[in-house]
Amino acid sequence: MKDDVKEILFTEEEIAVKVKELGQQISEDYRGEDLTVVGILKGSNIFMGDLIRKIDIPLSIDFMVVSSYGQSTESSGVVKVLKDLEYSIEGKNILIVEDIIDTGLTLDYLKENLFRRKPKSLKICTLLDKPARRKVDLKVDYVGFEIPDAFIVGYGIDYAEKYRNLPYIAVLKEEVYE
């Protein structure tokens, strides 16, 4: 796996510091309120597991599994919900947790989809953001790191289902996916 990595962008330690900061900010913002954290699988799995342990207010969790890439490295814009939420979100404060926002098409679709279920509030938290690649106007409430236009793996994020277990966030060598 390591041989396929071009560059490490963020080490385990750097990620841990950032996740702690995000958790503290979210705890402050929602203190005294209910909170449901919705993880978008599979990519947000590890981030979400770490993040919720840095949030010190009571919360519930739920998950959606969506697919927008298939085996490719480009978002198709067509989002398929492979697994929906287990619980109703009506009247609840919902925080969507995503791994990366690239074109924004996936979250644009999901925001619209979840808004129709009448939550009390709906915010977005992403570990990584590639603002230069955005195709739609999307308000993102919590961002871990802004990153340049490169194909990323590690810390839960895959290429063709591999590399999720790398403990750091890295740029994949082009020859791996070209």
Find the binder of ligand 5GP among 35, 36, 89, 99 (CB under 6 A): 99
Burial 15-42 (b: 16+ CB within 10 A, else e): beebbeebbeebeeebeeeebbbbbbbb
Residue 86, classed as helix, strand or coil, is coil
Judged on CB neighbours under 10 Å (0-12, 13-18, 19+), 13 is: exposed
Contact residue for ligand 5GP among 131, 158, 176, 177 (CB under 6 A): 158
Give the contact letters, 120-149, x = binds to ligand 5GP (CB under 6 A), - = no: ------------------------------
Q: Distance between the two ends of the chain, CA-based, in angstroms?
A: 16
Residue 102: active-site member? yes
- Give counts: helices (H), strands (E), the chain: 4, 9
- Smaller CB distance to ligand 5GP: residue 30 or 94? 94
Q: Is 98 in the site for ligand 5GP (CB under 6 A)?
A: yes
Active-site annotation, residues? 102
**Residues making contact with ligand 5GP (CB under 6 A):** 43, 68-69, 75, 98-106, 151-153, 157-159
